Amino acid sequence: MKSDHQLVIYNSLSGKKENFVPLHEDHVGMYVCGPTLYSEPHMGNMRTFINFDFIYRCLLYLGYKVKYVRNITDAGHITNSAGQELDSIGSAARSAQVQSLEIVYTYNVKFQELQRVYNLLPPSIEPTATAHIQEQIEVIEQIIENGFAYVVNGSVYFDVKTYMQQHNYGALSGRKVDELEQETRTLNAQGEKRFFADFALWKKANPEDMQVWRSPWGNGNPGWHIECTAMSTKYLGKQFDIHGGGLDLKFPHHEDEIAQNCGSFGCNPARYWMHANMLNVNGQKMSKSLGNYFLPKEIVNGTSALFTKPYPAAVVRFFMLQAHYRSTLDITEEALNASEKGFERLMEGLSLLEKLTPSNSSSFEVAKVLSAAEAAICDDFNAPILIASLFDAVKYIHAINEGKEQLTQEDLLWFTHAMNTFVQDVLGIEPSKKEENQRLSGVMDMVITLRQQAREQKDWTASDMIRDGLEKAGIQIKDSKDGTSWS
């Protein structure tokens, strides 16, 4: 690790910030629960992926060699909370009258495209559940062998009661099983389960299931949580450094993952559990069931009913990083507009930085400005503080430009390189690329010359007509001492 600051991470398991010490020096293994591809991920899903992408980038910045695994759920999850069975991938496929494979493939292509648009670094590996059925079966067999699961009528259930004799079920979510029991006792038909809190590791196939695999217990589907245990173990080992996901996965998904890992390999899979908070719309969690969601592509192409205009993906990303990953974030047009302005200010600062002229001496310490940014990264990946420190740096950039502050050639290069690293590599914000349209710029040069002539002749009517006309066409004229520019 190249930073002077000690990296501190908030661990959901302990509820505290802890010094980060990787299992293997300079290496980090990180597993993040990815999307379920029976529909297109919405903006709330994207926030989680953006947050973990930022965390991934921070770790890389700090000099760690990171193995980042983010799974893709393409196997149907079966639930039977109230005796009602639901295969989400299967249902979507049936209604669309196409094979489930086709659905999953279609959404996967869209998801990959979204990752490019939102500038997410590709994970080291993106394993799919369907390609790891064998591994899942092997983990289940191990759990059975260890006595923490039982087979009933072609299904396999995790035996929470037996598990609790040796392990702490509820360590992550803070749930007590006897409390859970009081809550659920009245509701549900226990069915095949021996104990209400038991959960399915393998579920016997239903006649209408589209996805069915062979197993030692007959044809069926893997349970909802087993894929993550199988894939994280395969690619990162029985224990690794960081396990992340959305806050809503804490219980039961992550709790059950811990149980499965302890039940098969005897240890909690991850040393640090990290949970990203939700994206809210009007104070409520964005979710499919509430119907208050919009898609990441809709905000970019301006087709979301919530917003009056499109916002570049980089602006949306910037907006999200202005809040800490552990806080909820409310998305509104007003807030987005504020971020867009700030985003432009930062970008203009960066482009001005490239044009600064060096001096013989430096009037301030570059290291001090940069240190604040690095400290923010190390303090539980505090993106908003990082951004605030970059705005502080922008003030210095303008001061240098106005001759109020100076930097030597050497310091200026250092400053420039660091700023670009923080913005592009760490925040993952690509500077807005000006579309270099040769023909348009030729025309604009001419129009500006015409207007300049009118101005020199004090023909304000003509000059304002040109200015207003361009404004209507979405081109803004900027007059300054050094001449006129447009954007």
Nearest approach, Cβ of residue 237 and RNA (Å):
22
Tell me which residue of 259, 286, 291, 254 sits closest to 273, measured CA to CA: 254
Q: Show the binding pattern over residues 58-77: x = contacts RNA (CB under 7 A), - = does not.
A: ---------------x---x
Based on CB atoms, which residue is closest to RNA, 166 or 327?
A: 327
Task: Work out whether the CA dihedral 450, 455, 457, 459 comes out positive or negative.
Answer: positive
x/- site string to RNA, residues 372 to 411, per CB under 7 A? -------xx-x-xx-xx--xx-xx--xx--x---------
| Residue type for position 187 | L
Task: Out of 218, 237, 252, 358, point to the residue binding RNA (CB under 7 A).
Answer: 252
Report the residue from 183, 208, 365, 445 that binds RNA according to the rule CB under 7 A: 183
**Residues 130, 75: contact at Cβ < 8 Å?**
yes
Region label for 86, one of left (φ > 0), alpha (ψ between -120 and 50) or beta (otherwise): beta
Among 12, 20, 30, 44, binds RNA (CB under 7 A): 44
Instruction: Tell me the C-alpha distance between 147 and 162, whole Å.
Output: 8
Q: Write the interaction track for RNA spanning residues 226-245; mark x where CB under 7 A is met and - where it is not.
A: -------------------x
Distance CA 272, CA 56 (A): 14
E strand intervals along 288-366: 329-330
The owner of tokens 């970019």 is 300
Count of residues in the chain? 487
Instruction: Pick the closer one to RNA by CB: 374 or 379.
Output: 379
* Size, binding site for RNA by CB under 7 A: 91
Single residue of 47, 271, 297, 317 touching RNA by CB under 7 A: 47
For RNA, the closer of residues 180 and 370 by Cβ is 180
Provide the minimum distance between the beta carbon of 386 and RNA in the complex, in angstroms, as a whole number. 9
From 94-102, 160-168, 298-306, 330-338, give the range in contact with RNA by CB under 7 A: 330-338
**83-102 binders of RNA (CB under 7 A):** 86, 88
Q: What SS3 state is found at 16?
A: strand
> Of 236 and 336, which has the nearer Cβ to RNA?
336
166: tokens are 């040796």
Q: Nearer Cβ to RNA, position 109 or 338?
A: 338
Q: Could you tell me how far CA 207 lies from the centroid of its own chain? A: 37
Residues 267-326 that bind RNA (CB under 7 A): 276, 278-280, 283-289, 293, 322-324
Count the neighbouring beta carbons within 10 Å of the beta carbon of residue 180.
Answer: 18
Of 19-38, binders to RNA (CB under 7 A) are 33-36
Q: How far apart are CA 379 and CA 5, in angstroms?
A: 9
Can you tell me the distance from the alpha carbon of 346 to that of 435, in angstroms, rounded to the nearest whole number?
19
Interface of this chain with RNA, residues 444 to 473, rule: CB under 7 A: 455, 460, 463-464, 467
Of residues 334 through 363, those in contact with RNA by CB under 7 A are: 334-335, 337-339, 341-342, 344-345, 348-349
Q: How far is the CB of 65 from RNA (least distance, A)?
A: 25
Contact 340, 329 (CB under 8 A): no
Q: What is the DSSP string of 272-288?
A: EEEEEPPEEETTEE--T
Containing 313, the helix (H) or strand (E) segment is helix 313-321
Q: Which is nearer to RNA, 16 or 24 (CB)?
A: 16
Q: Which of 206, 332, 409, 449 binds RNA (CB under 7 A)?
A: 332
